[in-house]
Amino acid sequence: MTDTKLITRIFTDERVEKWRERYFWVNTITAVVALASFLLYHGKAFPDSWTPWITVLQALCLILLIGETLGVYIASRTLAEGWRQAPTDTLGLLVGLLMGLGLFLASHWASGVLTEADTFNAFALLTQAGLGAFVTIRLLRFFSILTRLIQSPLLVFTGSFGGLILLGTGLLLLPGAHTPGHEIGFLDAFFTATSATCVTGLVVVDTGAAWTRFGQLVILALIQCGGLGIMTFAAFFGLAFGRGMGVRGAAAVGEMLNLDFVGRVGRLAAWIVGITFSFELLGGLALYGHWVDAAGAPLPTGEQIYYSAFHSISAFCNAGFALYGDSMVRYAGDWPVVLSISGLVIAGGVGFTVIVDLATYRFWANPYFRRIPIIRRKVRHQQLPRLSTQTRIVLIVTLALLLVGTFGFWALEAGNTLKDRGFSEQLAASFFQGMTPRTAGFNSVDYGQLLPVTQFFTMLLMLIGASPGSTGGGLKTTTFVVMLLAVVATLRGRPTEAFKRRIPEALIRKSLVMLFLVLTFTNTALLLLMLTEADGIGSVEQGFEKLAFEVVSAFCTVGLSTGITTELTGLGKLIIIACMYVGRVGPLTLVLAIGSKQPRKFEYPEEQVMIG
């Protein structure tokens, strides 16, 4: 009986796969046409008279996309098998049918609760919502298949960011993306798309004033996709489909998450998506009700929800984009906002692997809890839990950098930008500015007014950056600690160790290479900026310090600025764009993606060289 069921399932899988292969190009072309019509329509690229025809086109696209799901059920021959083959599509289809039935009952044809115009508008919005869901699933599936055709996972990883930046640039150039009175050129759109995708936060125009709601949503989508990486979403949906994403796709996600083994990638991607949306939801709830307008009056309910969602996503992804021209200056002493934004930034910056390690840690099996008789009887046969060395290093260094950053900023700026503030506001501002160099990009004080020593202190914090496998950038906390431990171990004449574990020599070499590449790239970018800005910012007082701060902020994807971003020349902006891109994908990753690895057939003999 079991063999019969297995054979039946094999034949069912073959029929479904053949149907999907036949329908592949219909799916892909329809998804591209639907996405283009959706974005161009909301980007005001079409005249209003085209609206009915666009609605009909979108409805036809939705029918074609649903056609694959119906074909899967026909090929499966039973409802149970159809559900097994397409659970996500089926769930989306059922939700859409229920919402459509509810709209029909409320329409002017049935109960008359909605007018004729409201009915058509509601059905148009429902069609677009369904289209968005099905298009997203189809395109991510297509991207997952595409990763199997490309040989290098590194190229997939770096190319995904490049493609997302170009798509974002095109969307931000649409007429409906920017407000009247703000002329957005290609370079401004390119800069903004790169800053959002690389979760940096540097801006050349005021995000809240220059971009329409459509433009802001495009920026928000770039932040979310760039913060987690397209490969993470592809891995998650591949796992949701039960189809996986192939070894190359999983390897590309592993490059982004710093995982050396492919087996964990799919499940970790599901953890990442769940953690991200959970933190962003909690952050949005914590921020709700605290947003005010220029006059200090609370924003209406709809705006409160939008501002909370925007800043929650921006904070967790360490992007630093804000809808206020002065970032968080008006909330410098507002502890609920300070703690909410800071908590999101820290959670996004410690790394997803650390959060998963903490979430799965069996604290009840800890030796301290085993002393309790009731617990000891239940866990006596369980293995002692242990946090990984990376988790321990990240937690300790994160806490240490927060304390050093907070009290360092307070000590340096107590007689400058903080002198006219009360104790509570000084502490809140110092904590916020001690946290934000961890690649967050928000600021509650004017960085153009900071002392040069404070700017240099901030640059050091920015260079260390966040932790590996996170939404932040920088050299990374673990890289900094590994090099520090290597120095101490060399002076002591011992192997490099941490928490009774030995650090591999290959990891130490990689950390040194990372440091060399970071210093080389930032210094080269600074030299080029000094040339391109010789007649501008580079010639004014403290011009060198301001340009150095801008380069480090861009490369470490922080987003803090002394206010010179908009004053850069076109070539200067292109240099900063290159800094943001290389800083996000990682200099070592980019070098490995571009360079080719050729196996060596022999090795030369060793010979000592004097150093020091």
- Where residue 598 falls among pLDDT bands split at 50, 70, 90? low
Lowest mean pLDDT among 211-215, 262-266, 311-315, 386-390: 262-266
Give ∠ CA 314-315-318 in degrees, rounded to 5: 85
363 secondary structure, DSSP code: G
Give per-residue pLDDT as tens, 242-259: 444 444 444 444 544 444
CB 465 within 8 A of CB 438: yes
- Where residue 240 falls among pLDDT bands split at 50, 70, 90? very low
Total of domains in the chain: 1
- CA 485, CA 500: separation in Å to the nearest integer? 13
Pick the more confident residue, 137 or 522. 522
pLDDT in the model for residue 539: 76
Global confidence as pTM: 0.83
Quick check: is 1 in a domain?
yes
Provide mean pLDDT across the span 336-342. 93
3-state helix/strand/coil string of 252-283: HHHHHHCCCCHHHHHHHHHHHHHHHHHHHHHH
- Where residue 271 falls among pLDDT bands split at 50, 70, 90? confident
Considering 19-28, 59-68, 304-313, the range whose residues carry the highest mean pLDDT is 304-313
Residue % of the chain over a pLDDT of 70: 83
Range of the domain at 83: 1-149
By C-alpha distance, which of 346, 383, 153 is closest to 253?
153
pLDDT in the model for residue 398: 92
Provide mean pLDDT across the span 271-277. 82
Residue 419 has pLDDT above 70, yes or no: yes
Provide mean pLDDT across the span 465-483. 86
C-alpha torsion sign, points 149, 150, 156, 158 = negative
3-state helix/strand/coil string of 121-161: HHHHHHHHHHHHHHHHHHHHHHHHHHHHHCCCHHHHHHHHH
Quick check: is 474 in a domain?
no
**Which residues, in sequence order, are CB contacts of 376 under 8 Å at separation 6+?**
370
Provide mean pLDDT across the span 442-449. 89
pLDDT in the model for residue 402: 94
Quick check: is 14 in a domain?
yes
Average pLDDT, whole number, for the chain?
82
C-alpha torsion sign, points 466, 468, 474, 478 = positive
pLDDT in the model for residue 237: 47
Give per-residue pLDDT as tens, 144-153: 666 565 556 6
Pick the more confident residue, 124 or 252. 124
Quick check: is 5 in a domain?
yes
Helix (H) or strand (E) holding 339: helix 335-349
pLDDT in the model for residue 321: 92
Pick the more confident residue, 381 or 227. 227
Residue 376 has pLDDT above 90, yes or no: no
Residue 198 has pLDDT above 50, yes or no: yes
Quick check: is 36 in a domain?
yes
Provide mean pLDDT across the span 395-403. 93
Residue 10 has pLDDT above 80, yes or no: no
Lowest mean pLDDT among 23-32, 94-103, 149-158: 149-158
Residue 576 has pLDDT above 90, yes or no: yes
- CA 64, CA 27: separation in Å to the nearest integer? 7
Residue % of the chain over a pLDDT of 90: 29
Residue 598: what residue type?
Q
- CA 314, CA 321: separation in Å to the nearest integer? 6
Quick check: is 45 in a domain?
yes
Provide mean pLDDT across the span 172-188. 88
Provide mean pLDDT across the span 480-502. 88
pLDDT in the model for residue 366: 66
pLDDT in the model for residue 467: 86
Pick the more confident residue, 589 or 546. 546
Quick check: is 167 in a domain?
no
Quick check: is 206 in a domain?
no
Residue 7 has pLDDT above 80, yes or no: no
CA-CA-CA-CA torsion for 170, 174, 178, 183, nearest 10 degrees?
A: 90
- Joined together, the tokens standing for residue 258 give 């710093």
